[in-house]
Amino acid sequence: PHGVDVTPDGKYIIGSGKLQSITTAFNMEKILTAIENKDFTGDEDGIPVLDYEKVKDAEVEVGLGPLHTQFDDQGFAYTSLFVESAVAKWKLGSWEVVDKIPITYNIGHLATAEGDTVNPDGKYLVALNKLSHGRHLGVGPSQPESSQLINITGEKMKLLYDAFTEPEPHYAQMIKADKLQPIEVYPKEENKNPHAIWDVKDAGVERSGANVTVKMVAVRSTLEPTSIEVN
């Protein structure tokens, strides 16, 4: 087993195994009922094991080496295929594969816009690939890997852009920019350090017996005081 992803409505758990050609849709209600009724086939290290056949709704023939699944706002799921180097698009409920796009190469994780939330945005998918195999200019001994931006709005997925990133990309997220509200400056009131100073005039050197305390202020690339003498 590899990736385990929950559909936006919470009805299904999508489980994939990288040495299989299928991904499995497990019904959450069936899982909860089986747990309540203690309908187990046994246990592994003290953990009860559910009956696979009783809690699954479907096995989807997505392709070779399924790893992770993301979702859009139209009821489609997108599963990365590591061995096949592709992304499979399939329909929740009818469990049919409707499209597939080749990836270069050996995709691991993938991210659709807000694709693992209760309200996916759809529109775009990013394939986070493990190998680039010379699709970029030579840059030295350490080679970047490949990420690919894909349009998922139509019936057929369409590759839009290749970008070259650090190796082994994992678990990226894509959200609308207007949901990000970063601060530009840390508020003073959040600093609880009793020794903090906020003005250059408060910087300096203080001696108390054998102890010397230096209070410094950093303004851009300048540190005050610029020199410290301790006898």
Residue type, 32: L
Is residue 192 domain-shared with residue 174, that is, in the same domain?
A: no
Is residue 200 domain-shared with residue 172, that is, in the same domain?
A: no
In a domain, 229, yes or no: no
Is residue 174 domain-shared with residue 65, that is, in the same domain?
A: yes
Tell whether the model's pLDDT for residue 220 goes beyond 90: no
Q: How far is 209 from 206, CA to CA, in rounded Å?
A: 10
**Please, are residues 76 and 62 in contact by the beta-carbon 8 Å criterion?**
no
Contact partners, residue 31, CB within 8 Å, separation at least 6: 13, 50, 55
| Range(s) of the domain holding residue 89 | 4-179
Q: How far is 33 from 153, CA to CA, in rounded Å?
A: 37
% of the chain residues with pLDDT over 90 = 79
Q: How far is 1 from 15, CA to CA, in rounded Å?
A: 7
Quote the number of domains for the chain: 2
Is residue 62 domain-shared with residue 88, that is, in the same domain?
A: yes
Is residue 58 domain-shared with residue 160, that is, in the same domain?
A: yes
In a domain, 231, yes or no: no
Is residue 159 domain-shared with residue 136, that is, in the same domain?
A: yes
Tell whether the model's pLDDT for residue 203 goes beyond 90: yes
pLDDT tens profile 48-90: 999 999 999 999 999 999 999 999 999 999 999 999 999 999 9
Is residue 154 domain-shared with residue 205, that is, in the same domain?
A: no
Could you tell me the pTM of the whole model? 0.82
